Amino acid sequence: MTVCGITAEYNPFHTGHLHHIAETRRSLGENAVIVCVMSGNFVQRGDFAVLDKYARAEMAVCCGADLVVELPLAAALSSAEGFAKGAVQTLHALGCGTVSFGAETADTDLLLQAAELLNSLPMKGESGSPHLSYAARRQEELSKVNKQAAVLLDNPNNTLAVEYCRFLLPLGMRPLAVLRQGAAHDAKAPNSGFASASLLRTHLRAGDLAFCAPFLPPPCRAVWNEAVSRGEAPVLLPEDTLLALLRTARYQGQLHTGSADGFDERLQKAVYAAHSFSDAVEKARTRRFPAARVRRTLLRAVLGIEADAPVSPTYLRVLALGPRGRSVLKTASLPVIVKPVTEKRLPENLQTALCRDAFADDLFALALPNPEQRIGGGHFRKTPFCLR
């Protein structure tokens, strides 16, 4: 049985994602089992997802995925390196022999070459230009040994592709690069029947489903409309709540990462002077400290995720599955959570992370449009979508 993994956020699931799954099946055969590891209610850009994780996973299974499990929270709110490491290790625990990803190039050999070079470079030091971000310094160091490989990192899709390759190599997994079609990452306009997820989120949050409809597969539109009817979408940032929690973290001395580059001091000043979460991000961001890093760090502080929290999975939370996905779960190498109500039966060493997951879902609930949907405990009332 061929089991292939895909890492995604599906925020929301759109025609580009549908193309990726279709191309993966075309490459591996119709009998391949497609396993997706997906960010939960918080995403890598340091934001709340536009729609609840179970609904987004349902979209994916209705559009060709066989199984969707949740990416560990610490990995979801990490840099590309931590995001990829947590994702690849999760897919490995599910028996995936191949990892499929979208990229700006289908040259797998070049991606692997860049990955091997990055693995060989000493990236944790302070080498390189001090005014650049960590990611930019890595690219600068890579360009000294291979300019062609370094150019790959100009694009976020390629950056993640290279990171996936870095972590799948030691595990004996194979990469499958699928050439991206249509609109580029964060593109401000549609292209060739595709639109970027960021553009779709903007229109969905503005209530403009008519604009988004051509770029959302029919099952996704149905899931979205159902969520809107229940008052569960679109999800917006709870700006005041987040700022209050950040002020609390600052007062309690928990707004720190241990960074020696002045980042912590800048965050603390920004939170003190800001009038909202987004304003704190704007006040803290610089060329060296990009907005995505600032947002992730602030959300990690709100959620109590330590700077050195491991991104590797210790359990597998099922969000949606189809008939073929059930067979994969039978051979998983980590504890599998299908119904959250069973979590308390799991070993004591998992309980801290499980409690944090529940808190994260309760915080996410405060961003739902319908006030009656904002009550706590939703984490234990949700169950995976099952496609029969």
- Binding-site positions for ATP read 7-20, 102, 157, 180
Q: Where does residue 152 rank: exposed (0-12), middle (13-18), buried (19+ CB within 10 A)? A: buried
Residues 59 and 69 sit within 8 Å (Cβ to Cβ) = no
Residues marked as binding? 7-20, 102, 157, 180
Tally the residues of the chain.
Answer: 388
C-alpha of 2 from chain center: 24
Outline where 39-144 has alpha helix (H). Answer: 53-62, 73-76, 80-93, 108-120, 134-143
Contacts 24+ apart (CB under 8 A), 351-358: 353/72, 353/73, 353/314, 353/315, 354/315, 356/73, 356/303, 356/304, 356/305, 357/40, 357/73, 357/317
Q: Which of 40, 10, 30, 128 is nearest to 356 (CA)?
A: 40
Run of H or E residues at 4: strand 3-8
Q: Are 94 and 5 in contact (CB under 8 A)?
A: yes
Q: What crossing angle do the helices spanning 156-168 and 80-93 adopt, rounded to 10°? A: 50
CA-nearest of 383, 314, 371, 380 to 348 is 314
Q: How far, in Å, CA of 22 to CA of 13, rounded?
A: 14
Contacts of 19 (CB under 8 A, 6+ apart): 178, 181, 194
Q: Are 105 and 94 in contact (CB under 8 A)?
A: no
